[in-house]
């Protein structure tokens, strides 16, 4: 069994001191994501099927360049059908798709429609569970080495869908564990038949889906059909490029045209941002409007969890406003630390 603690002495300078990913005083939480499902795709042509459907480049998984990838599946109009985290399975030519449980039947139907006559098995996985392993005090480097295409806040970012994690890898013959492919602040994804503690040799306490959702809100990451409305959402407005979920250099896939055209304009005027309410005692509903001090609409609520939430925000208007409110409740928004810097922020940029 691979033991994460066995790597600590060698990684102490780079990980513990600078990024504080490990701490004896902080317990990692493991959350069984009962709202997420696994779908197994298996067959010699399975990678080819996925390559024509996903926004990211499946070849990186085939060539073992990275352990997992984040992506979205789009319709022909370039709108999001569903988001997914894809990882290789235990067998050759096998992939696991982690998706919103509420969308799992739609996902299987979508994949089966494009399978045509290829010998590919597509089926739900009931013997394995999906966990998130994280702690709220994760601190990682800001992405100072990453830069958008222009000086405007929210400009598009092109990094080929690949991200280098500072979290060390974990391996075990009966489970799959990898850093969350979107951002290290979300810790690890774990796929296995048992609780992660049986295979990860460090201290864990059990958390709830609510704990995980609050962590996502604080970090600023949407997930699933509840946050990302199917057939309505534009992928780059949901930070797909910032979360390393799209490769602008791969071949054609369904929905590519609008996504590529939006990318080449260089500017996305609306994006998902983390928000915080002035009080936890509120009855704010999905799609409620956020207004500034002049009463101008600057955004809409996409998720709420107590004081925290996610919102689709008009960037220029929101960050130039003196104050924001949703109903009678004050709202604050901020730019996540993991966003790439604007072009003129990076020292030495032209």
CA distance 120 to 40: 10
Task: Look at residue 139 in the predicted model and tell me its pLDDT.
Answer: 67
Nearest-angstrom CA–CA distance, 112 and 232:
22
CA-based nearest residue to 109, from 97, 126, 123: 123
> Considering the chain, what percentage of its residues have pLDDT values greater than 70?
88
Q: What is the pLDDT along the chain (350 residues), one digit of tens a residue?
A: 233 333 322 222 222 223 334 444 567 899 999 999 999 999 999 999 999 999 999 999 999 999 999 999 999 999 999 999 999 999 999 999 999 999 999 999 999 999 999 999 999 999 999 999 998 777 665 555 677 777 888 888 877 677 788 887 777 778 999 999 999 999 999 999 988 987 776 788 999 999 999 999 999 999 999 999 999 999 999 999 999 999 998 889 999 999 988 888 878 999 999 999 999 889 999 999 999 999 999 999 999 999 999 999 999 999 999 999 999 999 999 999 899 888 775 544 43
Q: Which CATH superfamily is domain 4-262 in?
A: Probable tRNA modification gtpase trme; domain 1 (3.30.1360.120)
Query: Do 120 and 309 contact (CB within 8 A), yes or no?
Result: no
Q: Using alpha carbons, list the distances in angstroms from residue 227 to 134, 263, 272.
A: 21, 22, 10
Distance between CA atoms of residues 188 and 345, nearest Å: 30
Q: What is the pLDDT of residues 180-228, one digit of tens each?
A: 999 999 999 999 998 898 777 678 899 999 999 999 999 999 999 999 9
SS3 199: coil
Q: What is the pLDDT of residue 156?
A: 85
State residue 11's pLDDT score: 26
DSSP code string of 14-51: IIIIHH----TT-PEEEEE-TTEEEEEEESTTHHHHHH
Residue range 57-105, pLDDT digits in tens? 999 999 999 999 999 999 999 999 999 999 999 999 999 999 999 999 9
Could you tell me which residues are beta bridge partners of residue 273?
A: 311
pTM, two decimal places: 0.89
């Amino acid at each position: 069994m691979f033991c994460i603690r066995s790597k600590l002495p060698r990684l102490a300078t780079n990980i513990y001191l600078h990024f504080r990913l490990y701490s004896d005083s902080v317990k990692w939480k493991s959350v069984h994501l009962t709202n997420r499902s696994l779908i197994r795709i298996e067959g010699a042509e399975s990678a080819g099927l996925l390559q024509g459907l996903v926004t990211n480049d499946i070849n990186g998984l085939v060539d073992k360049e990275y352990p997992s990838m984040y992506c979205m599946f789009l319709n022909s109009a370039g709108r999001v059908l569903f988001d997914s985290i894809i990882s290789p399975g235990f067998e050759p030519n096998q992939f696991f798709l982690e998706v919103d449980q509420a969308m799992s039947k739609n996902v299987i139907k979508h994949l089966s429609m494009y399978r045509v006559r290829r010998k590919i098995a597509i089926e739900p996985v009931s013997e394995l569970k999906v966990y998130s392993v994280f702690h709220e005090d994760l601190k990682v480097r800001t992405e100072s080495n990453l830069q958008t295409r222009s000086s405007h806040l929210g400009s598009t970012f092109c990094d080929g869908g690949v991200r280098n994690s500072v979290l060390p890898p974990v391996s075990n013959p009966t489970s799959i564990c990898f850093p969350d492919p979107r951002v290290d602040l979300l810790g690890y994804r774990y796929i296995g038949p048992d609780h992660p503690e049986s295979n990860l040799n460090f201290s864990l306490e059990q958390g709830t889906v609510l704990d995980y959702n609050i962590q996502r809100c604080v970090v600023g990451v949407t997930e699933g059909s509840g946050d990302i409305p199917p057939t309505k959402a534009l992928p780059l407005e949901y930070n797909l490029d910032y979360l390393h979920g799209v490769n602008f250099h791969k071949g054609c896939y369904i929905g590519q045209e609008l996504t590529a055209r939006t990318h080449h304009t260089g500017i996305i005027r609306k994006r998902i941002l983390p928000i915080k309410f002035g009080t936890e005692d509120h009855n704010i509903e999905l799609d409620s409007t956020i207004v500034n001090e002049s009463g101008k609409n600057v955004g809409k609520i996409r998720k709420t969890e107590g004081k925290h939430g996610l919102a689709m925000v008009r960037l220029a208007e929101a960050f130039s406003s003196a104050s924001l409110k949703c109903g009678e409740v004050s709202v604050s928004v901020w730019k996540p630390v993991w966003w790439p810097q604007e072009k003129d922020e990076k020292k030495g940029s032209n």
